Amino acid sequence: AQTVTQSQPEMSVQEAETVTLSCTYDTSESDYYLFWYKQPPSRQMILVIRQEAYKQQNATENRFSVNFQKAAKSFSLKISDSQLGDAAMYFCAYRRKFYGGSQGNLIFGKGTKLSVKP
Amino acid sequence: DTEVTQTPKHLVMGMTNKKSLKCEQHMGHRAMYWYKQKAKKPPELMFVYSYEKLSINESVPSRFSPECPNSSLLNLHLHALQPEDSALYLCASSARDRVSEAFFGQGTRLTVV
């Protein structure tokens, strides 16, 4: 069974600084997807960034980038130029690819609560 | 339209009440999900519907009854709930044959009194 581990329950960053959130996962599959979701107090889970396992290039979305180390099964999120609006719970998630009748439900880590100090 | 709409946003119900949660999406997604989320915890999968058929039930008590009347709509019928069922209930949808991210609704905050 696949598992996702986020070892940092809470993190704090100064506004405009850079912070890295850690995530490791365990799987025996070679092809899958990894995601970082953000959940602010408004409750809605918002996709921050995604990575396809067969792509070696690290995904980037504006101020958000990942360091994907497939062999080490590591998937960290870097937030540059942190803003007050980045304060939220961040969940790392794994999803297997669909093949035939399989279902691609998400497997979540326990989350990291990020605080941004002005 | 990349929205998943959940209603109501808040619900308070007694242990003898019957209520329903509703989820709607118009992205053509054929997989839809119900998750339960307790405070400061990750979402826990409850049910998965694929092409309007229930494909996964994560051993959820029968007081929760899902229904998928069509490809855009997902309901969760609630009956005889317990106070420990109080939580945020999230609906999500995703494309089935080309995997993409799951899109989530804003959730229904349920309180059982």
Q: In three state form, how does the secondary structure of A39-65 look? A: ECCCCCCEEEEEEECCCCCCCEECCEE
**Which residues in A have their CB inside 8 Å of a CB on B?**
33, 35, 37, 42-47, 50, 89, 91, 95, 97-98, 101, 103-106, 108-111, 113
Across the range B76-94, mean pLDDT stands at 95
Across the range A93-117, mean pLDDT stands at 82
Q: Is the pLDDT of residue B105 over 70?
A: yes
Check CB contact under 8 Å for B43 and A35.
no
Distance between CA atoms of residues A91 and A21, nearest Å = 10
Distance between CA atoms of residues A112 and A34, nearest Å = 16
Across the range B77-102, mean pLDDT stands at 87
What pLDDT shows up at residue A74?
A: 97
Distance between CA atoms of residues B58 and B48, nearest Å = 9
Q: Is the pLDDT of residue A39 over 70?
A: yes
The per-residue pLDDT for range A7-16, each reduced to its tens digit, is 999 999 999 9
Which pLDDT band, with edges at 50, 70 and 90, does B94 fall under? Answer: confident
